[in-house]
Amino acid sequence: MTKFRQQHERRIQLEKQALTDPLMNIWNRRALLGDEDSNEIKGGNFVPHLTREIAKARVGERRTSFREGERRTEIPKPLSVLMLDLDHFKNINDDTDLGHDGGDFTLQSISTLLKQSIRKADILGRYAEGDELLIILPETNQEGAIKEAERLRKLVEKYQLKFNGKKFSVTISVGAAELKDSHKEPKDLVIEADKNLLKAKNNGRNRVFPPPPVDQSSSVET
- How remote is the C-alpha of 200 from its chain's centroid? 16
Catalytic residues: 131
The overall longest dimension of the chain from CA atoms, in Å, is 72
> What number of CA atoms fall less than 13 Å from residue 107's CA on the CB side?
27
- Find the helix packing angle between 49-59 and 186-202, rounded to 10°: 110
H helices present in the chain, as ranges: 3-19, 29-33, 49-59, 89-94, 99-117, 142-158, 186-202
CA pair distance 113, 133, nearest whole angstrom: 13
Following DSSP, what letter does each residue of 101-115 receive, concatenated? Answer: HHHHHHHHHHHHHHH
Q: Are 208 and 196 in contact (CB under 8 A)?
A: no
Report which of 142, 104, 148 is spatially closest to residue 124, judged by C-alpha positions. Answer: 148
Under 8 Å between Cβ of 29 and 125: yes
Q: How far apart are CA 97 and CA 54, in angstroms?
A: 43
